[in-house]
Structure 1
Amino acid sequence: MGLSDGGGEMKAVILAAGEGTRLRPLTISRPKVMLRVGDKPILQYAIDALREVGIRDVVIVVGYQKERIQTYFEDGSDFGVSITYEEQRRQLGTGHALLTARDHLDDDFVVVPGDNILDGRMINQLLENRSDITVLVTEHAQPRKYGVVELDGDRVSKIVEKPPRRISNLISTGIYHFTHKFLDLLDREVGAGRFELTHAVQTAIEEGVEVKGTLTDGLWLDVVFPWDLLDLNARVLPDAISRKAGTIEDGVTITGPVSIGDGTVIRSGTYIKGPVAIGEGCEVGPSVVIYPTTSIGDNVTISPFTEIRNSVIMDNVAIGGQSYVSHSILDEGSTIGSHFITAAEPKLLLMENELVQIDKIGTIVGENCEISSRVVVDAGRTIGAYCHIEASNRISRDIPDSSRVI
């Protein structure tokens, strides 16, 4: 399936230059594509999906915090692909990003967003129905945030980027198949100041080019706001590989699918109910309770008598004893004192001038925070990166980056 129409190996371009400003403070020092969901960064899902269908020649367009991507994936050999990097110095749009990879493209190719969760079945569906231009389409409850697609049979009759009103519940997944000649049209569009791929595809439709739309039932998940990470984590963890390495002491109870990394120690009296993923070099317990859909990064310390539910704990986090963390995200390098409590409850949040109902949310703590003992955080509050919270505080409002609460 990894063959182009010309008979050579199909290439793929992954667009991974974006910053992810709506995900602050989690994207202060990393691009959106390097946020961890389940047991790996978001970008790795795209790479794994391409490899599954036999596409191993990959160009990644990087930009914001590019070093985080290049250091992690290097030349791709550890992930079963060959990676070349191109930099989009200004993040003008997806069409502009694709053009930066033009010198590597001499036949038809696939374009994949690096900031979505997807699977190989989607890429197969795209290639099985390919035309000069093919758009992979899915249904979405909030289509106005995306490129909205109108279909006439299997042909795209119209594609509109983030329309002001609802015109369809079908959206572009950002996954495309193009022939090489599309790049000339794209170059013309970008030169005219129309920087999105959807703009160029709509122009192709108006010029009479056949644009196919393939409706997918594969896994496609997007992260728009920080709280989305919890939902995505819960969706992908049940499919993560169950692996128990490290040291598990006597008296530990583990049920359901649980992955434990090398060098991790699970102390006696600890109870873990999967799906749960725990990284490498962690120390958990004794007498810690971890409930389902929790993802824990590398080099994390969780002290005794702490309970964690449905949360994402990034790398190098330390959580003090007798704490309660529920429906929360703790970013990398943060140190949390004992008796830390995150309230978790349903909330109606204002996001980009829209009220969004969240079933249950706790707290977001940005990277490299220092939180002293006996701090309680109200549901739905965010503590920005590099904050210092002194002991016995109750956090009832959002705290900006680099703040000190005394």
Structure 2
Amino acid sequence: MKALILSGGAGTRLRPITHTSAKQLVPVANKPILFYGLEAIAEAGIVDVGIIVGDTAKEIQEAVKDGSQFGIKVTYIPQEAPLGLAHAVLIARDFLGDDDFVMYLGDNFIVGGISELVDAFQEERPDAGILLTKVPDPRAFGIAELDVDGRVVGLEEKPEVPKSEMALVGVYLLTPVIHTAVRAIEPSDRGELEITDALQWLIDQRYDVRSTTISGYWKDTGKVSDLLEVNHTVLEHVEPLVAGVVDDASVIIGRVRIEAGAQVSGSRIVGPAIIGADTVVKDAYVGPFTALADGCRIEDSEIEYSIVLKGSSVTGVRRVEASLIGRDVEVTPAPRNPAAHRLVLGDHSKVQISR
């Protein structure tokens, strides 16, 4: 069995961060979101992995390299434009050959991995398998319609009037018959070859398309709020570590990981939190669910429930929370402007000005 990971999207909902960084490499708990997917695939026993790349190909390749750090072998497959998930299957035909494969969206996060799902698929071997979960706004996802017995009878991409609340999670288990399906469909109104249309073609042709409803945590990390939520979830399980230097004037509470080379002085850190290598925390407060990457500086400031990327600093700022701060960013107080009021008042006016 092989794996096909999609890492070519532009990440427009995460701008301006994704103007300079691939959305799949934005970290949660100081690890790129893509790496969690690669680790899940390796844990499922899959070695041959194709990665669909686009404009951020160079950055993805520099981060993942040949895949050996994950115990996998990576083949990079360029996609000229984000033309749909079914288009990704189409251009990966030579790599996939006649093998079954997992298609995994590189910006998705699933707690618990996919090993059991892969094992069940290989044992039962339907023509295709999809994962479903109930979502509050079905209009934002591919949606599955199920019959009274729970079988998939219809699929639709981002419908205006959803027929159910069951959304497709970004993991698909597929056999070689999908190659016939992706060649049989036409682009959607969005100009993309939709994987939902290909799966619907299989259903219409009476192929065996099965669904599994997952009960564990899943998140599409397409928005800042989603990334912060996943960061929260991962940090819940962080293992405490103090490999850096913490002075006697500092207080460390809860599950806090302080990497080698980090320096904490005169500060209070309340976990779960991660302080990256060579990061300096001085006369500051770092609150729960905060991940500071390597080489950051937090001084005379408070920060909580946030992600700070490599080389950034927050100094002299009263409070920062629920924030995503990019690489090499400087956050400082704004200069105080003199308070003044400019008035043009008629005769006999009465004006009250707050102090």
TM-score, with length taken from structure 1: 0.77
Provide the rounded CA distance (Å) in 1 between the counterparts of 2:211 and 2:13.
Answer: 29
Counterpart residue type for residue 155 of structure 2 = I
Which has the bigger relative contact order, CA under 8 A and spacing at least 6? 2
Look up the equivalent residue of 1:110 and give its one-letter code: V
**Structure 2 counterpart of 1:131, from 119, 126, 146:** 126
What residue in structure 1 maps to residue 29 of structure 2? 38
2:289 to 289, 293, 310: 293
Give the residue type in structure 2 aligned to 1:113. L
Does the CA contact (< 8 Å) of 1:126 and 1:136 recur in 2?
Answer: no
Alignment-derived partner of residue 109 in structure 1: 101
Deviation sequence 1:170-199 (CA, Å, 0-9, x none): 011121111112212212325897501111
Residue 50 of structure 2 corresponds to residue 59 of structure 1: yes
1:392 CA drift (Å) = 3.5
- 1:331-346 pair list within 5 angstroms: 331-337=326-332
Matched letter for residue 140 of structure 2: K
CA distance in 1, matches of 2:79, 2:278: 35
1:278 aligns with 2:275: yes
Aligned position for 1:364: none
CA RMSD in angstroms, aligned pairs only: 1.9
2:80 alignment partner, one of 89, 112, 116: 89
List 4+ stretches of structure 1 deviating above 4 A.
190-194
Check conservation: 2:257, 2:275, Cα contact below 8 A. yes
Q: Match of 2:144?
A: 149
- 2:306 aligned with 1:314, yes or no? no
Structure 1 segment 391-406 matched on structure 2, within 5 A: 391-392=335-336
Gaps of 5+ in 2: 338-355
Kindly provide the amino acid, as one letter, of the partner of residue 133 in structure 1.
A
* Residue in 1 that maps onto 2:252: 254
Which residues of structure 1 form unaligned runs of 5+?
1-9, 338-373, 376-390, 394-406
Q: Which amino acid aligns with 2:165?
A: N
State the Cα distance separating 1:82 from its structure 2 match. 1.8
Give a deviation string over 1:300-335, Cα, whole Å, max 9, x none: 0112x3111111111110111353212222211111
CA separation in 1, counterparts of 2:91 and 2:30?
Answer: 30
2:350 — aligned with what? none
Residue type at the aligned position of 1:167: K
CA distance in 2, matches of 1:127, 1:141: 30
Deviates more, 1:119-128 or 1:154-163: 119-128
Give SS of 1:187's match. Answer: helix
More off after superposition, 224-233 vs 134-143? 224-233
Aligned with residue 327 of structure 1, among 322, 326, 329: 322
Cα offset, 1:11, TM superposition: 0.9
Q: Match of 2:203, as an amino acid?
A: I
Rg larger for: 2
Corresponding pairs, count: 330
User: What's the offset of the Cα at 1:242?
Assistant: 3.2
1:15 Cα offset (Å): 0.8
